[in-house]
Structure 1
Amino acid sequence: MEKLRKFFNDTVEEMQHKVSWPTYTELQKSSILVLVGSLVFALLVGAMDLVYDSTLSWFYNQF
Protein backbone atom coordinates (compact mmCIF):
# COMPACT_ATOMS: atom_id res chain seq x y z
CA MET A 1 0.00 0.00 0.00
CA GLU A 2 2.88 2.33 0.78
CA LYS A 3 4.35 1.83 -2.70
CA LEU A 4 1.06 2.86 -4.27
CA ARG A 5 0.84 5.98 -2.09
CA LYS A 6 4.44 6.91 -2.99
CA PHE A 7 3.68 6.39 -6.68
CA PHE A 8 0.72 8.79 -6.58
CA ASN A 9 2.62 11.37 -4.52
CA ASP A 10 5.54 11.25 -6.96
CA THR A 11 3.13 11.53 -9.88
CA VAL A 12 1.46 14.64 -8.45
CA GLU A 13 4.83 16.23 -7.67
CA GLU A 14 6.11 15.57 -11.19
CA MET A 15 2.96 16.96 -12.81
CA GLN A 16 3.22 20.14 -10.72
CA HIS A 17 6.94 20.84 -10.90
CA LYS A 18 8.60 18.98 -13.76
CA VAL A 19 6.06 19.08 -16.60
CA SER A 20 6.14 22.14 -18.84
CA TRP A 21 2.56 23.05 -19.59
CA PRO A 22 1.73 25.00 -22.77
CA THR A 23 0.50 28.55 -22.56
CA TYR A 24 -3.06 29.36 -23.52
CA THR A 25 -1.90 30.78 -26.87
CA GLU A 26 0.15 27.68 -27.66
CA LEU A 27 -2.80 25.51 -26.73
CA GLN A 28 -5.10 27.46 -29.06
CA LYS A 29 -2.64 27.20 -31.96
CA SER A 30 -2.23 23.46 -31.45
CA SER A 31 -5.99 22.96 -31.24
CA ILE A 32 -6.58 24.89 -34.46
CA LEU A 33 -3.86 22.85 -36.19
CA VAL A 34 -5.49 19.59 -35.09
CA LEU A 35 -8.92 20.81 -36.20
CA VAL A 36 -7.68 21.87 -39.65
CA GLY A 37 -5.73 18.64 -40.09
CA SER A 38 -8.78 16.58 -39.11
CA LEU A 39 -11.00 18.46 -41.57
CA VAL A 40 -8.50 18.00 -44.42
CA PHE A 41 -8.21 14.30 -43.63
CA ALA A 42 -12.01 13.92 -43.48
CA LEU A 43 -12.44 15.68 -46.83
CA LEU A 44 -9.76 13.49 -48.40
CA VAL A 45 -11.32 10.27 -47.12
CA GLY A 46 -14.79 11.50 -48.18
CA ALA A 47 -13.55 12.27 -51.70
CA MET A 48 -11.89 8.86 -51.94
CA ASP A 49 -15.13 7.21 -50.78
CA LEU A 50 -17.16 9.14 -53.36
CA VAL A 51 -14.81 8.15 -56.19
CA TYR A 52 -14.73 4.52 -55.04
CA ASP A 53 -18.54 4.38 -54.76
CA SER A 54 -19.05 6.00 -58.17
CA THR A 55 -16.53 3.68 -59.83
CA LEU A 56 -18.09 0.56 -58.34
CA SER A 57 -21.62 1.71 -59.23
CA TRP A 58 -20.56 2.34 -62.83
CA PHE A 59 -18.77 -1.03 -62.98
CA TYR A 60 -21.75 -3.01 -61.60
CA ASN A 61 -24.18 -1.26 -63.94
CA GLN A 62 -22.20 -2.53 -66.91
CA PHE A 63 -23.47 -6.08 -66.28
Structure 2
Amino acid sequence: MAKLTRFFNDAVEEMQHKVTWPTYSELQKSSMLVLVGSIVFAIIVGAMDFVYDSTLNWFYNQF
Protein backbone atom coordinates (compact mmCIF):
# COMPACT_ATOMS: atom_id res chain seq x y z
CA MET A 1 0.00 0.00 0.00
CA ALA A 2 2.91 2.33 0.71
CA LYS A 3 4.21 1.93 -2.85
CA LEU A 4 0.82 2.87 -4.28
CA THR A 5 0.57 5.95 -2.06
CA ARG A 6 4.08 7.03 -2.99
CA PHE A 7 3.30 6.53 -6.68
CA PHE A 8 0.27 8.84 -6.50
CA ASN A 9 2.14 11.43 -4.43
CA ASP A 10 5.00 11.43 -6.94
CA ALA A 11 2.57 11.72 -9.84
CA VAL A 12 0.83 14.73 -8.28
CA GLU A 13 4.17 16.39 -7.49
CA GLU A 14 5.42 15.86 -11.04
CA MET A 15 2.21 17.31 -12.53
CA GLN A 16 2.46 20.38 -10.30
CA HIS A 17 6.17 21.16 -10.52
CA LYS A 18 7.79 19.44 -13.51
CA VAL A 19 5.19 19.63 -16.28
CA THR A 20 5.11 22.72 -18.47
CA TRP A 21 1.47 23.61 -19.05
CA PRO A 22 0.52 25.70 -22.10
CA THR A 23 -0.91 29.18 -21.70
CA TYR A 24 -4.55 29.78 -22.55
CA SER A 25 -3.68 31.43 -25.87
CA GLU A 26 -1.36 28.54 -26.83
CA LEU A 27 -4.13 26.11 -25.97
CA GLN A 28 -6.60 28.01 -28.15
CA LYS A 29 -4.19 28.05 -31.11
CA SER A 30 -3.49 24.34 -30.78
CA SER A 31 -7.20 23.56 -30.50
CA MET A 32 -7.98 25.56 -33.63
CA LEU A 33 -5.20 23.78 -35.52
CA VAL A 34 -6.60 20.39 -34.51
CA LEU A 35 -10.15 21.46 -35.44
CA VAL A 36 -9.12 22.74 -38.88
CA GLY A 37 -6.98 19.65 -39.53
CA SER A 38 -9.84 17.36 -38.55
CA ILE A 39 -12.27 19.17 -40.85
CA VAL A 40 -9.83 19.04 -43.78
CA PHE A 41 -9.21 15.34 -43.17
CA ALA A 42 -12.97 14.64 -42.96
CA ILE A 43 -13.57 16.47 -46.27
CA ILE A 44 -10.81 14.50 -48.00
CA VAL A 45 -12.07 11.15 -46.70
CA GLY A 46 -15.67 12.11 -47.58
CA ALA A 47 -14.64 13.01 -51.13
CA MET A 48 -12.75 9.73 -51.51
CA ASP A 49 -15.78 7.82 -50.24
CA PHE A 50 -18.08 9.66 -52.66
CA VAL A 51 -15.81 8.93 -55.64
CA TYR A 52 -15.40 5.28 -54.65
CA ASP A 53 -19.16 4.83 -54.14
CA SER A 54 -20.01 6.55 -57.44
CA THR A 55 -17.47 4.45 -59.31
CA LEU A 56 -18.77 1.19 -57.86
CA ASN A 57 -22.40 2.14 -58.54
CA TRP A 58 -21.52 2.99 -62.15
CA PHE A 59 -19.63 -0.29 -62.52
CA TYR A 60 -22.44 -2.43 -61.05
CA ASN A 61 -25.08 -0.72 -63.19
CA GLN A 62 -23.19 -1.74 -66.33
CA PHE A 63 -24.34 -5.36 -65.82
What is the aligned-residue identity percentage?
81
How far off its partner does 1:29 sit? 0.2
Does 1:40 find its partner at 2:40? yes
Runs of 5+ consecutive residues of structure 2 not aligned to the other structure: none
How far off its partner does 1:20 sit? 0.2
| Aligned twin of 1:30 | 30
Q: CA RMSD in A?
A: 0.2
Runs of 5+ consecutive residues of structure 1 not aligned to the other structure: none
| Aligned twin of 2:12 | 12
| Aligned twin of 2:58 | 58
Runs of 4+ in structure 1 over 2 Å off: none
Give the total of aligned pairs. Answer: 63
How far off its partner does 1:16 sit? 0.2
Could you state the TM-score of these two structures normalised by the residue count of structure 2?
0.99
